[in-house]
C-alpha cells in the first residue's frame, strides 16, 4: 500500500507528523490537502522548513487530491495524506471510498463549541456525528497522536 496514513491534524506539517510518524512509518512523501496553503507559496515554504530533505512534500487542493488519490495509492512512495480539518478528510473519503479507509485523528484542538474527548481531540457533537457517519459508511476511525501511543476507537470518544 502506497498511502500508509490518512491523518487529520490542525497544526498541519509539524514535528509529530514529520518525526513521530514519518520516522516510525518510513514516510517519504507527505501530501498536505489544504486549499489555502496550496494557494500560498509563502506558507508552503514555512511548512517545508519542518520537513527533512529525505521527505518530499506536496501541497494540493481538495479538488486535485480527489483526482490524484488513486495515482498516489498506486505509486511506490510511502505517503502520508494530511488534512487540517474533518471536512476535507470527509470529502476525500467520499470522493475515494475505496482508497481512504482508515482515518487517524491526530490533532483537533479546542475551539468554541468543542468538548474535550482526548487531550489532543476536541469535537463538537455535530463533528462527532459526522465522524460516526463516516464510520457507519465503512471507514475505520481512531484517535492517536503518536505511533507510540495506543489508538482510541471513535466509539470511545462519544
Partner 1 sequence: MSEELRGVVVCHGALAGALVQAAEQISGLNGALVPVSNTGCDRDTLEDRVRAAVDGKPAVVFVDLASGSCLVAVLKRLRDEHLVKVVTGVNLAMLVDFVFHRSLSPAEAAARAAAAGEKSIRIP
Return residues touching partner 1 (CB under 8 A): 10-12, 14-15, 43, 46-47, 49-51, 84, 107-111, 119
Element (H or E) spanning 82, and its range? strand 79-83
Smaller CB distance to partner 1: residue 14 or 77? 14
Rounded Cα–Cα distance for residues 72 and 60 (Å): 12
Could you tell me the CA-to-CA distances from 3 to 31, 33, 45, 133 in Å, in that order?
Answer: 10, 14, 23, 23
Task: Tell the residue number behind the cell numbers 501511543, with chain if given.
Answer: 149
Smaller CB distance to partner 1: residue 57 or 66? 57
CB of 123 to partner 1, least distance (A): 12
Smaller CB distance to partner 1: residue 72 or 127? 127
CB of 69 to partner 1, least distance (A): 25
Amino acid at each position: 500500500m502506497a498511502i500508509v496514513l490518512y491523518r487529520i491534524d490542525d497544526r498541519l506539517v509539524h514535528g509529530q507528523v514529520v518525526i513521530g510518524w514519518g520516522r516510525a512509518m518510513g514516510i517519504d512523501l507527505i501530501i498536505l490537502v489544504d486549499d489555502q496553503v496550496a494557494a500560498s507559496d509563502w506558507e508552503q515554504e514555512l511548512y517545508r522548513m519542518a520537513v527533512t530533505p529525505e521527505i518530499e512534500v506536496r501541497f494540493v487542493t481538495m479538488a486535485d487530491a480527489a483526482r490524484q488519490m488513486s495515482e498516489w495509492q498506486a505509486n511506490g512512495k510511502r505517503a502520508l495524506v494530511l488534512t487540517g480539518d474533518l471536512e476535507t478528510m470527509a470529502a476525500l473519503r467520499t470522493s475515494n471510498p475505496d482508497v481512504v479507509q482508515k482515518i487517524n485523528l491526530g490533532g483537533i484542538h479546542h475551539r468554541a463549541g468543542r468538548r474535550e474527548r482526548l487531550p489532543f481531540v476536541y469535537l463538537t457533537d455535530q463533528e462527532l456525528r459526522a465522524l460516526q457517519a463516516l464510520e457507519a459508511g465503512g471507514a475505520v476511525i481512531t484517535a492517536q497522536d503518536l505511533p507510540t501511543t495506543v489508538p482510541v476507537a471513535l466509539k470511545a470518544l462519544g
